[in-house]
């Protein structure tokens, strides 16, 4: 089960999707809007996506996981739009017969999602400024200062 | 031929539009498209070296020839999660 949603994520329901009597272990990851990044204060985040490609890449990620680990179930829900502090931006659940596989697959899932899936967050800082987060790209490019 | 380049996140914000039409010869590589995108849309200059390109929902390399493709996506590094 894979989805992009503008609504709050029901992570209980998402977790139930991967639970079964064949799975002795269920691991759930919840990405949550955090207030402090170092000394900078966040008020809110705005998430945007390239939806068709994001869904395709999430599906690919699930298939990669199914090839690498004997998982019983995988579910991902990523929220888009305006999120306040404490809101859940992403929920990823993995189940497997034994816990080691579920922890490994769950870690791989969220790590890869963050580098592969075309979704972006924009910081709304407490000082009133906003800034798209693009890892490896200078936060304020010279052309924007001109 | 005309290629429609869909832009996202800071690329869309800098360009002031969600897509840009770039006129290119058929068989152009992604590397050449990157260069032409900068000419068509100079506002993207600072971001140009960082842009990733995708065709049919897949990332494409610099050497990839675009062939008769008419829609390409260009965006800076992702930050979901």
Contact across the interface for B77 and A57, Cβ inside 8 Å:
no
Contact residues, chain A, for B50 at CB < 8 Å = 134, 136-137
What ipTM does this complex have? 0.95
8 A C-beta contact, residue A88 and residue A31: yes
Question: With bands split at pLDDT 50, 70 and 90, how would you rate the model's confidence at A140?
Answer: low
Contact A132 B13 (CB under 8 A): yes
Give me the average pLDDT of each 10-residue run along chain B (81 residues): 95 97 92 96 97 96 87 96 97
Helix/strand/coil for B66: coil
Strand arrangement, sheet containing B58-59: B19-23, B2-7, B71-75, B52-55, B58-59
pLDDT at A143 over 90: no
Residues of B in contact with A116 (CB under 8 A): 78
Which CATH superfamily is B2-69 part of?
Beta-grasp domain (3.10.20.30)
Regarding beta strands A88-96 and A25-32, do their DSSP bridges make them parallel or antiparallel, or are they unpaired? antiparallel
Range with the lowest mean pLDDT among A55-59, A82-86, A109-113, A140-144? A140-144
Tell me the helix, strand and coil percentages in chain A, rounded to 5.
35, 35, 30
Q: Which two tokens stand for residue B43?
A: 């506002």
pLDDT at A144: 42
Which residues in chain A have their CB less than 8 angstroms from residue B73's CB?
A: 50, 53, 118
Q: Is residue A110 part of a domain?
A: yes
Domain annotation covers residue A125:
yes
What residues of chain A lie within 8 A of the CB of B18, using their CB?
none
Render pLDDT for A37-91 as a digit per residue (tens, 0 to 9). 999 999 999 999 999 999 999 999 999 999 999 999 999 999 999 999 999 999 9
| Residue at A144 is within a domain | no
Mutate to test the interface with B, among A111, A141, A142 (most CBs of B within 10 A): A141
Domains of chain A: total: 1
Domain spans of chain B, in order of start = 2-69
A47 and B80 within 8 Å at the Cβ level: the answer is yes
Compute the nearest-CA separation of A82 from chain B (Å). Answer: 13
Task: Provide the residue range defining the domain that includes A114.
Answer: 2-130
In a domain, residue A145? The reply is no
């Amino acid at each position: 089960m894979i989805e992009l949603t503008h609504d709050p994520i029901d992570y209980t329901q998402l977790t139930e999707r991967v639970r079964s009597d064949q799975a002795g272990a269920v691991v759930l990851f919840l990405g949550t809007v955090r207030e402090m990044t170092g000394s900078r204060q966040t008020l809110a985040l705005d998430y945007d996506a390239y939806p068709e490609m994001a869904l395709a890449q999430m599906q690919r990620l699930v298939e990669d996981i199914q090839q690498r680990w004997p998982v019983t179930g995988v579910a991902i829900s990523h929220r888009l739009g305006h999120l306040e502090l404490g809101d859940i931006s992403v929920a990823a659940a993995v189940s497997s017969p034994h816990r080691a596989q579920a922890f490994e697959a769950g870690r791989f899932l969220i790590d890869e999602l963050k580098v592969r899936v075309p979704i972006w967050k924009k910081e709304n800082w407490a000082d009133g400024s906003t800034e798209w987060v693009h890892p490896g790209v200078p936060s304020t490019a010279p052309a924007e200062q001109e | 031929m005309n290629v429609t380049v869909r832009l996202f996140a800071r690329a869309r914000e800098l360009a002031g539009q969600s897509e840009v039409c770039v006129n290119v010869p058929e068989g152009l590589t992604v590397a050449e498209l990157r260069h032409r995108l900068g000419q068509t849309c100079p506002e993207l200059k600072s971001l140009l070296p960082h842009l990733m390109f995708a065709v049919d929902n897949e990332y494409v390399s610099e050497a990839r020839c675009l062939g008769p493709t008419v829609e390409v996506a260009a965006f800076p590094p992702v930050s979901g999660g």
